[in-house]
Structure 1
């Protein structure tokens, strides 16, 4: 799905030099002994293999944005590291988020989701694994999500890569991801049970909440929700 770029955004500043300087500072932290750098390297390697495209083309000035990134750890889950693009970081007074429109709130009402979840005997909860990573950015827009990382060794200069998916740090991503979920229900839902279509469209609030008055109906709903999401 398209990045929601403003049509009248100013020409992009040169961001490669300052972002590359940030990466050289990051390298000093990562080469130190410790579990955190190892986790960061492992998650980046895994993500590069599965999600990202190497940028092989040369982008002309004004059509590429190099985003710096950082890693965060959940205080209750120290063994899990998440890599975040810093889309709010400003270069010469402009950030990538300044170029993006903040889309309408497409999140379901929490109260509505909870009301639908109560009153039945059988319940199920789940979520979409790394939901934003399931929503791809068109190839012609990926230069706006360029970044530096090392391909083989920290002894080398970092290579240029670009994101193929929407990012948690981008202000437009939550709305786009929720729109993609609802569009999946609309585009592919006709071949599925009505309860599964309604769940995908209306019963997600980050996590998915499903409730039915019969166990067999709950199992059907769960299985069909998984299959419907695969279609999108």
Structure 2
């Protein structure tokens, strides 16, 4: 929460501003994975049975086709993947709409019955709100259009080879791949967007863990699949929960999902061999 404030992604609401106009308070809770992060619940309903997501326009679906992104990626000899760091939180929300993203918060170390709970506004697009996917995709689309003449290759990658905040693209020459990477970084910097978690099957691309071990030696998760850069293959993990109450419908659902992934992998493998 301190990071939100320090980065300008959240601002404390002064007492004289609090309680003015229409407002909605978002519940929030911690999620502990590789690191602790906060999740805001846009679907939670208030005492009147209303949720913030009920009042938001979600916008049309403008996400890239996942299968097409994977297919193009497999047609290149050299490739790289990366993602946008804190993508949603890099997009600012108009000030007149920020009262719909208010939260109440008090530092745990200052927790005392006499301490006042502070009120904050979230200043950027919030994950778990129904409009967040459209807003983020629309920003990237506009960025590509605005700088298409100056950065033609990067704009094409941004329009075709991104899936939400992940990019998966390539080239048949290492020099061209490096030029595309540098141009893409330049284009993203125009919107103060940073790319991280770089992975590639060529040492031409500086990867995030190059100081510890080559990224090519271990599989990395990309778009729901596991890419082995050194071997040039895609795999996936299968795991059925060991649950005595596992229903037949759940078994069929899991089998159907993994069968669909298998078919996708087979098509991608055949496409790669044909290329």
In the other structure, the counterpart of 1:45 is 2
1:157-172 alignment runs, 5 A limit: 157-172=116-131
In the other structure, the counterpart of 2:146 is 187
Q: What secondary structure is seen at the aligned counterpart in 2 of 1:82?
A: strand
**How far apart, in 2, do the equivalents of 1:154 and 1:108 lie?**
46
Q: What secondary structure is seen at the aligned counterpart in 2 of 1:125?
A: strand
Are the equivalent residues in 2 in contact too, given 1:196–1:224 (CA < 8 A)?
Answer: yes
With normalisation by structure 1, the TM-score equals 0.74
With normalisation by structure 2, the TM-score equals 0.63
Say whether residues 1:154 and 2:94 are aligned partners: no
Are the equivalent residues in 1 in contact too, given 2:18–2:119 (CA < 8 A)?
Answer: no
> How many angstroms does 1:96 deviate by?
0.5
Task: Please list every run of 5 or more consecutive structure 1 residues that lacks an aligned counterpart in the other structure.
Answer: 1-43
Q: Which runs of 4+ in 1 moved over 6 A?
A: none
In the other structure, the counterpart of 1:222 is 181
User: Quick one: which of 148, 155, 159 aligns to 1:197?
Assistant: 155
- 1:30-63, CA deviations, whole angstroms, 9 ceiling, x for partnerless residues? xxxxxxxxxxxxxx11122112122225255551
Q: What secondary structure is seen at the aligned counterpart in 2 of 1:178?
A: helix
**How far apart, in 2, do the equivalents of 1:87 and 1:71 lie?**
15
In the other structure, the counterpart of 1:100 is 56
Task: Please list every run of 5 or more consecutive structure 2 residues that lacks an aligned counterpart in the other structure.
Answer: 192-275
Q: What secondary structure is seen at the aligned counterpart in 1 of 2:69?
A: helix
In the other structure, the counterpart of 1:66 is 25
**How far apart, in 2, do the equivalents of 1:112 and 1:198 lie?**
14
Are the equivalent residues in 2 in contact too, given 1:65–1:96 (CA < 8 A)?
Answer: yes
**How far apart, in 2, do the equivalents of 1:96 and 1:133 lie?**
18
Are the equivalent residues in 1 in contact too, given 2:53–2:129 (CA < 8 A)?
Answer: yes
> How many angstroms does 1:85 deviate by?
1.0
**How far apart, in 1, do the equivalents of 2:141 and 2:64 lie?**
10
Are the equivalent residues in 2 in contact too, given 1:102–1:171 (CA < 8 A)?
Answer: yes
CA radius of gyration, larger in: 2
Query: How many residues end up aligned between the 2 structures?
Result: 184
**How far apart, in 2, do the equivalents of 1:133 and 1:141 lie?**
15
